[in-house]
Structure 1
Amino acid sequence: MSLTRPMIAPAFTILLLMTGWVGTAATAALAQKTPPAKAVGYYRNPAIHDNTIVFVAEGDLWKTSVFGGAASRLTSHPGDETNPAISPDGTTVAFTGEYEGPAEVYTMPIEGGLPTRFTYDANRGLVAGWTPDNRIIYICSIYSTLPRWQMVLLDPATGDRELLPLAQAAGGCIDEDGQSVFFTRVPFQGSHTKRYKGGTAQTLWRFDLPTDETDPAAVNEAVHLTGDYPGTSRNPMCWDGRVYFESDRNETMNVWSMKPDGSDLQQHTFHVGWDVKTASLGQGRIVYQLGGDIRLFDITAGTDRMIPITLDSDFDQTREKWVTSPIDYLTSAHLSPDGDRVVLTARGEVFVMPHGQGRLVQATRRPDVRYRTARFTADGERILTLSDESGEIEFWTLPTDGTPDDHQQLTTDGVVLRWDGIPSTDGTWIAHYDKNFRLWLFNVDSGEQRLIDQSDYDDFSDLAWSPDNKWLAYVKVVHNQNHVIRLYHVDDAITLDLTSDRYDSRSPAWDPDGEWVYFLSDRNFRSLVRSPWGPRQPEPFFDRETELFMAALQPGLRSPFEPDTELTRQAEQAKEEDEEKETNEDDASATDDTDAAQANTEDTADEATADESQEDGTDESAEDSEAADGDDEDEGDDEADKAESLIEIEAEGLQERLYRIPVAAGNYGNLMATADHLFWLGREDLYDRSVDFKTLEIKNTKIEPKTVVSGVASVEMSPDGSKLLIRKGSGLHRIDTASARGPATLDDTTAFDLSGWAFSLVPREEWRQMFIDAWRLERDYFYDTNMHGVDWPAMLDKYLPLVNRVSTRGELSDLIAQMVAELSALHTFVYGGDNRGGTDNINIGTLGARLTRDPEAGGYRIEHIYRHDPDEPDQASPLAALDSTIAEGDVITAVNRVPVLSAPDIGALLRNQVGRQVLLDLTGGETGETYQQVVMPGSTWSERDLRYDEWEYTRRLLVDQMGDGRIGYVHLRAMGGGDIAQWTRDFYPVHDREALIIDVRQNGGGNIDSWILEKLIRQIWFYWQARVGKPTWNMQYAFPGHMVVLCNEHTGSDGEAFTEGFRRLGLGKVIGTRTWGGEIWLTSSNVLVDNGIATAAEFGVYGPEGTWLIEGHGVEPDETVDNLPYATFLGSDEQLDAAVAHLLESLANDPVVIPDAPTHPDKSSKDNRPK
């Protein structure tokens, strides 16, 4: 299928072409009679009341009628306004707005007007509807210790809030009599996945609301209404004794309904392939998003129709826009062959920039095309680029002067993503590799595309041409996951392994004379940890593994780093004498040739004079023969010179001709070479973000690397080796290679002038390119080449037309999400990109406590100060500092001397106060005395951590209490690199207990499951006993007792891998609820041109038995225990209770006993025994 953009002429031009005679007067008359077409947008989040509909388009709120027509704009702020809901009396719209940055709850008159802000939580308050008694329903997580959504009722008349007593409630409705709340228990799980049936599938529940008079013991637990179906049921809407909702029971999300007890299911809409989204009900009619449209379903009439809406808008976000900081989108930068220019790709466009004075050239102006990389051709006259202009990623060349109509396509065989092409310096070949792990050579002259290698494990890397362009060095990942350097000869089609697979080797760099290949290899395995003895089971840690090596391409070569000896000095002297003798002979020969030439000239002149008298007797044969002989002789000399310059490699013994360069091992990369110097990048520590650019002179005295520039991001050498391109910070610099012999200064004289670098683009053209690119990248990254059986080209045809209606980057993301969801795979997230936002982003300070507005007490009462582990004083709430006298029950009456009741919310007074000293006036809750305290408010994220820390800490205390100190507890929030610290802090203090709970509920995933499992599979196989005291064991810190893993519906990704591994390895029992179901791993590297992404599921997981694991379903616990919404809100943790009960039972049935040391042997003799 061709994805080439069709060339469409404007309608007026087409009219002229069709008629041929229409003049200006007729055209003007036609323009007067034909009104301009109304613009159609992309519509989301509709709400309805009577005949009025409020919806979201362009990131703003709009209003129209149920009959459609031109909509009027209600909001115009640059940030997003979303989630509109119309009050029961139809006068007010509640919505979520980002006027000051954080998403908060606002209202405004339905006729338009100044919005009123009601929340200052900086915690993403999402409006979900209204109650029958005119209160706003919104959801947030600010009241939950775990990051869980809860429903809050807000009275706009008083500002009072009521938190519904449900631990999990991600939106819902309250029935007409106000007796019951119907709610979606969990929020959208984040991955855009149609037909999802994993453990986090949204389900509907009913909770009968208690009144003030209700006996707490008589309150019933929430009831699951959609337990008959494992898929999604969401967004309940109450009307006329029934509950309407969205469900994908027929594979497509449609509107259904049921009775309040979950019975009598009825389907009302019957869409196929297009999901119903964000439905809203008002007075017996439901409006919802379908694709980019809003539709209306009339419950009584049973009719369903699209509402034809147009927008009277200037579509500000679609007009030409300027990219004023292209460096933020830089994807490649390469010097010209002689280093006088640099070619840049940024935001999909190509630029040529001179060093010093000259014209900045924008070589491409096609926002509907993505130029992924760009390099100069070998002669520097054109640009070699990878472009999707043809619909696939192909090589093209462009002029360097920006001429727009001289783009030449080189390849036409693209079927999958290609990577950066490396041209040979003679311009004959382009080496490149693709996403299917294939390495290619493309012959520019013949058009031949030659497959030269294929990997089974990963992409190729580090492609480098030899000086004679006959050999290509590259790096391949082999069977044992090591990287091997290979050499391919383009004429003979032979491949040699320069390095063995025993070590990891990379970054080959050719000696310009063709005698050596320099490279880096990890061979220095000197652990910083010397033994397993010490706290927390110290393990080997290898830093500075990389060393520099050089391989001789021919036998008999001596490393230039080897010291001189008397023999080498004698050999060098003899060589110099031979060269001097040869020079003298050449000079003598040249003198003889000159004399002979002069004599020949005189003879030739005499012959010419004699021949003039011979009519028709001229004989040119001898002359021609002499000329021909001369040409042959010159050509032979050229060929001889050429043959001498060809690099010859003796294959036999190649891997044995290896020298280690005498430089201390380090953390090195990106090796480069000239005739007399080596260059590379190095880090002091393995994970140090600061990178140094280093150099080493190739000589055998004073062998000492020097730092050229510190703190660089990248360095590249020009093809001719004369210049170096250095990226540091947001700047690009060029220095001479000859000057990089030691410390170099980067300043205005070395910098490329980026100050005027800016360019414009047309958003809709770029959005079209990004949509197609997202489709193509999903195809090329997805782990199943059959795309889960989905007709992937048909999905592009299905969704692409809607791009023309998109008017914001957020709408594009919504559309991309609908498309990638067709694959029904998890780990498919859509986020990022060049989204417009407001100019304000005002932080709100947090006090680390739960506060309640109490007008009678004169302020905000401190209901609860979040607890923290006393061993971690830095985790303390701002109100719980060691010198603080603030206590729960006290009342905050003023912030920085401003009475708190004078503000709509205490958060309004804490804006822009994060990390600053704030003076609080307080009244003691017990004493009634007034006092002052200076506190340092934290950020929203720090308070989120405080709440989570309290949950973790109190779980640990509960386990200590219920298990009588016999059971240890470890919680892991995620499986990222930083979470190993949490494991270390919490596991080793309890490693010697009789039982252990590993709690991975809410675990967001990562990649360290093997680290944790490795610790848990260690077994005790002997004990050490000193002369006194208790024994210790080997393997050190092996856990001796019974274990349980706790998981729930929010255990995801690597948290699930850990859970499944724990069970498969027979380590213990898994208790909880079924997990998320996301087990196709990813790299998140398929980034779009504006740095947004629609991630692809890249690496499927299957077990030794040959079945796919976890994906789409989740890990089934051995024992299912659910923490129900109401009981959990009251403080219950049934899952934790079940884990403790199981372990106590296990200890009763199978006690963990550390055996006593046996009686010491009696090795005495009758001569030395005590008498």
Structure 2
Amino acid sequence: MSQLKQFKPKLVKLCLSATFVGALVPILPASASSEPIAAEGTTETRLLRQPTVSKDHLAFVYGGDIWLSDREGKAVKRLTQHPANEFAPSLSPDGRWIAFSAAYDRNIDVYVMPVSGGEARRLTWHPGADVVVGWSPDSQRILFSSGREIAVSRSTNLFEVSLHGGAEQKVMDAIAFEGNWSADGKYLAYRPFPQAYSGSSGWRQHRGGTTPPIWIIDLKAKELEKIPHVNASDKSPVWIGDDIYFISDRHDGAANLFVYHRRSKQVQQLSKETQWDIRSMSAFEKRIVYEAGGVLKEFDTQSGQTRTLSIDLSLQTAQANQVRPQWKDASPNLTSANLSPTGKRVLVTARGEVFTVPVKDGSVRNLTETSGIREKDAIWSPDGKQIAYLSDAGITHTIVIKNQTGEGKPKTVALGKTGYFTLLEWSPNSQQIVFQDNHLQLFVLNLANSKVSKIDESARRAAFSTSFSSDSRWLAYTVVGDNHFSQIKLFDFVTGKSTTITDGLSDADHPAFAAQDYLYFTASTNAGPTHVGLDMSSQERPLRHGIYAVVLAADGKSPMLPKSGDEEVKVDVKPAIEKKPESANESKKDDASKAIVKTVKIDLKGIEQRIVALPVAERNYSNLLVAHDGALFFLEQPQPGASNEVPTERTPNTANLMRFNAEEKKVKLVRAGIQEYGLSADGKKLLLQSAGAKLEIADASEKIDAKPVSLAGLKMRVDPRAEWQQIFNETWWMQKEFFYDANLHGLDWNGIYQRYADLLKYVQRREDLNELLVEMIGELQVGHNRVGGGDIHQETAVSVGLLGADLVLENDHMRIKTIYQGDRWNPFVPAPLAIPGLDVKSGDYIVAIDGKAVDRNTNIYALLENKVGKQVNLSIVRDLQAKLSHTITVQPIANEAELRQWHWVEKNRDYVQKKTDGKVAYVYLPNTGGEGYQYFNRMFYAQADKSALIIDERRNGGGQAANYITDVLSRPYLAGWKDRDGMIYETPGAAIYGPKAMLIDQDAGSGGDFLPYSFKRLKLGDLIGKRTWGGLIGISANPALIDGGNLVVPFFRFFTPDNAWRVENEGVAPDIDVELDPLAVNQGRDPQLDAAIDNVLTKLKNYRDVKLRVAPPMPTKLGQ
């Protein structure tokens, strides 16, 4: 019988080197430690962030709180103390107020408080992120960024809100990520979009297209001045006099402080940081305070001197609640679960600990209790005596074999200095364990001699699927070949040889031994188009697997042999003479003989000819397991593209548990809506896993009565500092083991470890650790390198309703500027104000919500708090002079993003239609994944009768390599077909053969890089706009972090057919460079779209249509 299958995280691959037996041996970078670092004995605190200065004060962020001191960094006091994130502090020019953003109620809004302290006042309520960036020169208005009205951009707009609250007002329609007003309020120095190195993305020295400049705009005079810019990232502009100071990484090395002299139009470098980037800064009068390496420094613009501000917070606790050891529920971080041999207990790994959980009697046992060490992949030996798991003590993997009760000294087998591993299963005789690494290799550990042997390796990345024969001699397993097809092989532990038993013309997977007679598996003959999931052409491809049985012995019989229906012939058998055992020893021998495992006979010669198909419909099957009675269990996965369910009824990643009875030759549904399942070693119990780590146990039968397995006792004592050290170590380790280049581009990764490990003592909360890790992985200077999440503080969300409209303050009241209609062919995107029968239109005023007045002094979103999906009464006035109002009832929504995006797309399509007299199609692609695939199919085929095409992939979020789109766009005209009636039709049935152009910008990346690259390489048309992001090192094969944190390590990289590394950290350059000019945007124009229209119309003048509109003359003779 097959060993119990554990629940495994998706796409976890793992790695190996030398193997030896012994204690857990730490193998660390020089001077490194696996012990937690404590914040003691320090006289200077680091990880101080986001300084802001006024005449008398300095404020900064530490541990998620905002602190205030004098200008020397002395007399420090904490202004805010809340577990939610408080950030982006900004002191008012008059020095009386401090504004900041905070994530209270899981909503990032603007708050303000006196510098003397006291209660913070909330100024914004919109559910989008409102991030403080500065003040008006008179200290009466707070400047903040928000993406609330953005349709298609990764950037934001700038808004202002009064110090006293009320309605927000947008500064301009052009995108702006941050800005700073000149002292006279005439000019705004601003950065239009974020840099690539921000948020969770660690990408220092980015040199692709997402390298923001700094511009100076005069909104009244409608004039724009650009600070001289190279392909680097500029940010944080501040005015001192008539000059603008800013941060830039334009000189390779570290980001430094620069100044732009407006009179001379020259840029000058000021600071000389070499090791740490300057991350943020603030200025008052002639002095600038900036942050580098978590230290605050002051730069004097007159003397050119820099001094360090020594700030000591060692005697003050920043976030004691996050630092102190505490008991936590580990069940949300469950990573594997399987049954004990007879199903009395469940073996669980969660948050790096190994637990056994009783199904009925007993208590939960934590077998490891090692906060700061990650134990994972625990599996129970079939004889019930031992448990095996992996431990990462010392930043390497060691297999630990421990008594099932956790008592006694464990046996350990270290797996070398390099590699990341996953345990798969025990052999039925409990003498061997098979496991894999992330270098596509399969291994076995022989417990008798602690020897690790390599069994095989795959040609391509895919998880191994394994199954032991009941006598433990044979291992059935899968390998992926050069053709991407999975094949099944048999490894003989006696001879040490492997034999392939499938022919490579089908995709064979999920082997499962059935007693001594058969090996079941799945196979698909239509899987080819789905094998490379990177290709968009794999979208919505129904996958069909059949289920097959291999008759193992040459004289074996097919399980599908027809039954004759004849009576069985009875044979007389004489009763056996009872014989008492001669001794106790003889009795033991008799018992032992009964326990002898039957030999599994496998005749390899001609075995491929003994494969039999089961009478099962071909569908998407996986995870075959055989129960004690010979019944075959398996999962049936839903097929993509078959339907689009109501969002509240969607159940992603769920499957149906099915059962095949060989006697009845029928398949029956056992349980719907599960994610995974397992089988006990004796084959009598099922373990079911469904959404939310919900576990249930049932008898392995046709009809089940599943009982819940309580995980309430899955508690563990977490020492945050020890766990943070482990997360730091594992992040460093996974980068080393999973990064596509084993040499890490020549970076001294051990040196990087030590430099950043020195800062761990200053981490006060999990969010601080993420920020530090982003900086560390940023040293690799590549895209798709991200870290975030984990056990961070989560506020209870309070939703804020939206009306699906642009609202502007006009005549001291809130006027509806635009009502978003949404997509009439998408039933799941409601538009609250666009419902037929509502007496409301653009230009109307909202004067009250549920009877509460709305005017200049009211923040309308405050009245919509906790109103999502609830009926709200709006008092509408069409003419303020007439003062006649009427009431409409609407249901606010939680998010307007889809409404705004589709409105923008339709506006562009309509604009192109009108400007080109209907000759040119417009297709927008939000990404190159599922949504992009849907957008393309919807918009392209409906406009395939046009003569030319504009593809707009600005802000394309990537996803897959969009070969499907370029395949369709590059199809040649092959034939026309004449019907007796109606129009001629063609093959291909839908194609646009005329001129094409593609719009690109700095926000398009990943798959949004590959699409314009391939468009250009295939010479399909011109690229128009700005250089793309430039990220084609792909993601991600590594597992999540111990507390559920996300780490993305890029593990594969694009290169061209010319055998050159391109696009990564370069982007795809346009053929026609067109800036999205902010002055034009403020006037309601899109200069990039206009350029694309001009481009295709010009080419259309000389284009000769290849499609034949008229058939040849009809035949006049027979046989023609």
Q: Same fold (TM over 0.5)?
A: yes
Question: For 2:190, which of 176, 183, 195 is the aligned residue?
Answer: 183
Contact 2:909 2:922 (8 Å CA) reproduced? yes
CA distance, structure 2, for counterparts of residue 376 and residue 757 of structure 1:
18
CA distance, structure 2, for counterparts of residue 502 and residue 186 of structure 1:
50
Structure 1 residues 751-770: aligned runs within 5 Å = 751-770=708-727
Structure 1 residues 527-606: aligned runs within 5 Å = 543=542, 545-565=544-564, 573=569, 577=571, 587=576
Contact 1:342 1:353 (8 Å CA) reproduced? yes
What corresponds to 1:664 in structure 2? Answer: 617
CA distance, structure 2, for counterparts of residue 1056 and residue 8 of structure 1:
41
Kindly indicate whether residue 389 of structure 2 is the aligned counterpart of residue 385 of structure 1.
Answer: yes
Q: Which moved more, 1:261-270 or 1:44-53?
A: 261-270
Give the letter aligned to residue 729 of structure 2. I
Contact 1:232 1:247 (8 Å CA) reproduced? yes
> 1:668 offset after TM fit, Å?
1.6
Give the letter aligned to residue 689 of structure 2. R
CA distance, structure 2, for counterparts of residue 90 and residue 671 of structure 1:
69
Secondary structure of 1:1149's aligned partner: coil
Q: 1:331 to 1:165 in 2, by over 3 A?
A: same
Give the alignment's TM-score, normalised by structure 1. Answer: 0.86
What corresponds to 1:204 in structure 2? Answer: 214
> 1:424 offset after TM fit, Å?
1.6
Contact 1:225 1:261 (8 Å CA) reproduced? no
CA distance, structure 1, for counterparts of residue 207 and residue 541 of structure 2:
43
Kindly indicate whether residue 974 of structure 2 is the aligned counterpart of residue 1021 of structure 1.
Answer: yes
> 1:743 offset after TM fit, Å?
1.7
Q: Which moved more, 1:413-422 or 1:109-118?
A: 413-422
What corresponds to 2:1115 in structure 1? Answer: 1161
Q: 1:851 to 1:482 in 2, by over 3 A?
A: same
Root mean square deviation of aligned Cα = 3.2
Contact 2:66 2:87 (8 Å CA) reproduced? yes
What corresponds to 1:736 in structure 2? Answer: 699
Give the paired residue count. Answer: 1063
Q: 1:305 to 1:1135 in 2, by over 3 A?
A: same
Contact 1:64 1:309 (8 Å CA) reproduced? no
Q: 1:203 to 1:8 in 2, by over 3 A?
A: closer
Kindly indicate whether residue 96 of structure 2 is the aligned counterpart of residue 96 of structure 1.
Answer: no
CA distance, structure 2, for counterparts of residue 153 and residue 358 of structure 1:
61
Give the letter aligned to residue 137 of structure 1. L
Structure 1 residues 743-892: aligned runs within 5 Å = 743-746=703-706, 750-839=707-796, 841-854=797-810, 856=811, 859-866=813-820, 868=822, 877-892=831-846
Give the letter aligned to residue 552 of structure 1. V
Q: Which moved more, 1:169-178 or 1:1048-1057?
A: 169-178
> 1:413 offset after TM fit, Å?
1.5
Question: For 1:1048, which of 992, 998, 1001 is the aligned residue?
Answer: 1001
> 1:491 offset after TM fit, Å?
2.4
Kindly indicate whether residue 48 of structure 2 is the aligned counterpart of residue 43 of structure 1.
Answer: yes
CA distance, structure 1, for counterparts of residue 1076 and residue 263 of structure 2:
21
What corresponds to 2:28 in structure 1? Answer: 2
Question: For 1:679, which of 626, 633, 645 is the aligned residue?
Answer: 633
> 1:373 offset after TM fit, Å?
1.5
What corresponds to 2:648 in structure 1? Answer: none
Structure 1 residues 108-127: aligned runs within 5 Å = 108-127=113-132
CA distance, structure 2, for counterparts of residue 796 and residue 1108 of structure 1:
28
| Cα deviation code 1:169-200 (max 9, x no counterpart) | 21122223333221112113353201111101
CA distance, structure 2, for counterparts of residue 408 and residue 294 of structure 1:
50
CA distance, structure 2, for counterparts of residue 53 and residue 383 of structure 1:
56
Contact 1:226 1:262 (8 Å CA) reproduced? no
What corresponds to 2:232 in structure 1? Answer: 231
Kindly indicate whether residue 291 of structure 2 is the aligned counterpart of residue 338 of structure 1.
Answer: no
Contact 1:192 1:818 (8 Å CA) reproduced? yes
Q: Which moved more, 1:779-788 or 1:874-883?
A: 874-883
Secondary structure of 1:420's aligned partner: strand
Secondary structure of 1:56's aligned partner: strand
Kindly indicate whether residue 1099 of structure 2 is the aligned counterpart of residue 1146 of structure 1.
Answer: yes
CA distance, structure 1, for counterparts of residue 826 and residue 675 of structure 2:
36
Q: 1:103 to 1:763 in 2, by over 3 A?
A: same
CA distance, structure 2, for counterparts of residue 352 and residue 272 of structure 1:
51
CA distance, structure 2, for counterparts of residue 68 and residue 766 of structure 1:
31
Q: Which moved more, 1:709-718 or 1:362-371?
A: 709-718
| Cα deviation code 1:1013-1038 (max 9, x no counterpart) | 22212222110112344311011112
Q: 1:72 to 1:1061 in 2, by over 3 A?
A: same
CA distance, structure 1, for counterparts of residue 958 and residue 635 of structure 2:
32
Q: Which has the higher contact order (CA 8 A, sep 6+)?
A: 2
Kindly indicate whether residue 1062 of structure 2 is the aligned counterpart of residue 1116 of structure 1.
Answer: no
CA distance, structure 2, for counterparts of residue 773 and residue 526 of structure 1:
36
Contact 2:871 2:892 (8 Å CA) reproduced? no
Structure 1 alignment gaps of length 5 or more: 12-34, 528-537, 602-629
Question: For 2:467, which of 464, 468, 482 is the aligned residue?
Answer: 464
Contact 1:128 1:139 (8 Å CA) reproduced? yes
> 1:726 offset after TM fit, Å?
1.8
> 1:827 offset after TM fit, Å?
1.0
Secondary structure of 1:879's aligned partner: coil
What corresponds to 1:252 in structure 2? Answer: 254
Question: For 2:142, which of 136, 142, 152 is the aligned residue?
Answer: 136
> 1:269 offset after TM fit, Å?
2.1
| Cα deviation code 1:939-994 (max 9, x no counterpart) | 342x2222222211111111011111000111111122133222222111210110
> 1:355 offset after TM fit, Å?
2.0
CA distance, structure 2, for counterparts of residue 887 and residue 292 of structure 1:
52
> 1:926 offset after TM fit, Å?
7.5
CA distance, structure 1, for counterparts of residue 844 and residue 922 of structure 2:
33
Structure 1 residues 133-532: aligned runs within 5 Å = 133-134=138-139, 135-147=141-153, 148-157=155-164, 159=166, 161-165=168-172, 167-189=174-196, 190=198, 191-210=201-220, 214=221, 219-220=222-223, 222-227=224-229, 229-248=230-249, 249-260=251-262, 263-301=265-303, 302-310=305-313, 312-313=316-317, 315-320=319-324, 322=326, 324-403=328-407, 406-512=409-515, 514-523=516-525
Identity among equivalent pairs (%): 28
Give the letter aligned to residue 735 of structure 2. E
Question: For 1:1128, which of 1067, 1081, 1095 is the aligned residue?
Answer: 1081
Give the letter aligned to residue 244 of structure 1. Y
> 1:435 offset after TM fit, Å?
0.5
| Cα deviation code 1:799-844 (max 9, x no counterpart) | 11212211111111100000010111111122221111333x2221
Q: 1:1092 to 1:968 in 2, by over 3 A?
A: same
Q: 1:972 to 1:261 in 2, by over 3 A?
A: farther
Secondary structure of 2:939's aligned partner: helix
Structure 2 alignment gaps of length 5 or more: 1-26, 530-536, 642-650
Contact 1:1080 1:1101 (8 Å CA) reproduced? yes
| Cα deviation code 1:995-1030 (max 9, x no counterpart) | 011110111111161222222122221101123443
CA distance, structure 2, for counterparts of residue 339 and residue 677 of structure 1:
18
Structure 1 residues 8-27: aligned runs within 5 Å = none
What corresponds to 1:705 in structure 2? Answer: 667
CA distance, structure 2, for counterparts of residue 658 and residue 435 of structure 1:
31
What corresponds to 2:684 in structure 1? Answer: 722
Question: For 1:64, which of 60, 66, 69 is the aligned residue?
Answer: 69
Q: Which moved more, 1:357-366 or 1:1156-1165?
A: 1156-1165
Kindly indicate whether residue 898 of structure 2 is the aligned counterpart of residue 945 of structure 1.
Answer: yes
What corresponds to 2:21 in structure 1? Answer: none
Contact 1:878 1:935 (8 Å CA) reproduced? no
CA distance, structure 2, for counterparts of residue 679 and residue 867 of structure 1:
49
CA distance, structure 2, for counterparts of residue 787 and residue 1164 of structure 1:
73
Q: 1:1111 to 1:268 in 2, by over 3 A?
A: same
> 1:558 offset after TM fit, Å?
1.1
Give the letter aligned to residue 239 of structure 2. C
CA distance, structure 2, for counterparts of residue 456 and residue 524 of structure 1:
21
CA distance, structure 1, for counterparts of residue 97 and residue 325 of structure 2:
35
Contact 2:134 2:180 (8 Å CA) reproduced? yes
| Cα deviation code 1:196-249 (max 9, x no counterpart) | 111011211122342xxx5xxxx32x233132x211111111113322111111
What corresponds to 2:83 in structure 1? Answer: 78
Secondary structure of 1:1115's aligned partner: coil
